[in-house]
A and B are shown apart, each in its own frame.
Chain A
């Protein structure tokens, strides 16, 4: 769906094997012909053709065959599409729409007889809110994703059509996607991961098994789905494998049909890694690294037998066509084995955020590099070993990943401080056996305030996406512990909390 050439490949598949399954969701199987027909209906039988040309449409990424058909229809109409998380609050959703100058929010559904239906909500243009946001031309980029940032408004990332084509081409080749192969789509449809497990798969004529987002942590459901639909490729955060192997009523499971297991978005724990070969005896294991701005940039084929306990798994080497450099704290490019900030330039990357003022510091050219290549500053600290493998060490800022979603601790602290009765706040990430990381907030309320943690929690959930709402919130009159520099002593806060409530 991200490009016109994708549409061509999709139409070919629909013509060559119309009765092959394109999408499976629970009991429902939708063939290529049916998906194509549903897309045609959206193009002709709905209010879609009447929407103003030249303004994008917003399609909240509810993962259903109807949404996918609607996306195909909008693409065929050469419309630009903003595809945000369906879980965003109303206010944030509308703000994104106005920033991208969307004319309407479109929701595809099914009526009582199982026929597709379309709900159209017009969005009023507010020119001041779109100021400073530059839309690429529809020939340049049709799809716009958003980052999973932790503040109120995620950043809009246009996906260049050519970049998407190159990525789908790489993905199909790397993981052997073709007609007759099945792929599991675990990530939400608005994640860049879907460019592989939904879009590259459909482009290759493969079958996509859609995981219902509401049940994405229901281990019994996940195992049942994989037993019913043996898949060739699984791409998911480590949490998914934890659930699959440990969760649910019937215990250990094996999935011999899986040819490729991809884990991404988070560090794979050693104890889980060494159990993967038993669960997926026919699979090649890949640790893949990337982000919405650049899509995948590194891959590492993992042999669990060669990994020592406690060893950090490398993110691997740059993908074909990817340039990676490491810079020191002064910004100079480092050579050989080193540790520093990772900058990448990928064939799959965006042209920059829609909000142009955000780009100057993040999308950069290297001094003295005549190629003119644009690099993305990842903010990730990496080590490059002598053998050329890269290891992820952490972040140069206050970002952490909570169940695959990147959140910024400082931004959460700001949201807490914005509450009129909060004096100060510190947010720390604590290790969690199952979730990987959970957030804890220590808050000092203003003198005389009767603020309680539940009210503050409500405040947070109004202004933050769910993964960024701290799992635990402690409100007290006492000042935060501080370091001699005056900054909150986050290490002490972390230590105190972990002693009180071990992971």
Chain B
């Protein structure tokens, strides 16, 4: 699953880099990879890929700050949505 998120970020926002370069804790917000509009794309993707309702995903930058943070957020959101 984590590969998914990373692939998505790289394809969408960093098409010019080698996947090995992007560490899981790289700050995507601070470094301008994902801006506030990009955030909406990430949220839409998370909703679609993980069967979460858009209304249940708060657009808080902290949840989407790094590959690791997105991964954690998705896992928790899936548990609270009863999806596992």
Contacts and interface: CB of A to CB of B under 8 A. Distances in A.
Interface of A: 214-221, 247, 249, 434-435, 452-454, 457-458, 460-461, 466-467, 469-475, 501
B59 A453 contact: no
B60 A220 contact: no
Contacts of B18: 452
Interface string B1-32: 00000000000011111100110001000111
14 contacts: A217-B36, A218-B40, A220-B54, A247-B40, A249-B55, A458-B31, A460-B31, A469-B32, A470-B32, A472-B15, A473-B16, A474-B16, A475-B16, A501-B15
Contacts of A460: 31-32
A466 B17 contact: no
A195 B37 CA distance: 26
Interface residues on chain B, size class: 20 to 34
Contacts of A469: 31-32
B75 to A, nearest CB: 22
B30 to A, nearest CB: 6
B32 A214 contact: no
Interface of B: 13-18, 21-22, 26, 30-33, 35-37, 39-40, 54-55, 59-61
A454 B37 contact: no
A503 to B, nearest CB: 13
A435 B37 contact: yes
Nearest to A500: B15
Nearest to A434: B37
B37 A453 contact: no
Contacts of B39: 217
B17 A453 contact: yes
A220 B58 CA distance: 10
B72 to A, nearest CB: 19
Contacts, number: 57
Q: Is the interface of A mostly helix, strand, loop or mixed?
A: mixed
A221 B35 contact: no
Contact of A461 (B15, B22, B32, B36): B32
A454 B32 contact: no
Contacts of B13: 471
Contacts of B14: 453-454
Given A454-B22, A454-B26, A474-B16, A217 B31 contact: no
Nearest to A216: B36
Contacts of B61: 214
Q: What 10 A-B pairs have minimum CB-CB distances, sorted nearest first?
A: A469-B32, A217-B36, A218-B59, A461-B31, A454-B21, A474-B16, A457-B31, A249-B54, A453-B16, A461-B32
Contacts of A217: 36-37, 39-40, 59
B77 to A, nearest CB: 16
A458 B37 CA distance: 20
